[in-house]
Amino acid sequence: MKKALYKILAVIIFIAIAWFVFIYFVPYSEGTRSGELIKVSNRGVIFKTWEGEISQGISGAQIFSFSVLDKDNKVIEDLKEFQGNYVKVTYIERYASFVFWGDTKYFITEVVKETSPHFNKKD
């Protein structure tokens, strides 16, 4: 009886580890998005995560929400600096997320300040 219980427990642990490895190493898609960076925040009660939003339209009707992993310090600092500006972000979309990673399935890996196609501002 104990052997069967240990085998069931081992299978459950193996499935949990396999799921974590799959979520961590296998991206669903990769790409870029552009828009006005309207929000960057460090939020959460137990697990603090970096979250942000990009407005992809003039009226703000299309919002792209994203997360940033804590280890990407350069991306976090660039996002804080570029807030309110037009940016292009490179992201990885995952099948799922964990509570300690962020609220979304989209994780920003790079951010670059761009010139807005809507306004001809010279910076």
Show Cβ contacts of residue 79 under 8 Å, excluding neighbours closer than 6 positions: 37, 40, 50, 52, 68, 87, 108, 111
Q: Where are the alpha helices (DSSP H) in 1-123?
A: 2-25, 73-82
**Sequential pLDDT tens for the chain (123 residues):** 788 899 999 999 999 999 988 988 888 999 999 999 999 999 888 889 999 999 987 666 789 999 998 889 999 999 999 998 999 999 999 988 878 888 899 999 999 998 877 766 555
| CATH T-level topology, domain 28-113 | OB fold (Dihydrolipoamide Acetyltransferase, E2P) (2.40.50)
Sequence spans of domains, the chain? 28-113
In 3D, which of 120, 121, 91, 85 has the Cα closest to residue 107?
91
Q: What's the predicted TM-score (pTM) here? A: 0.78
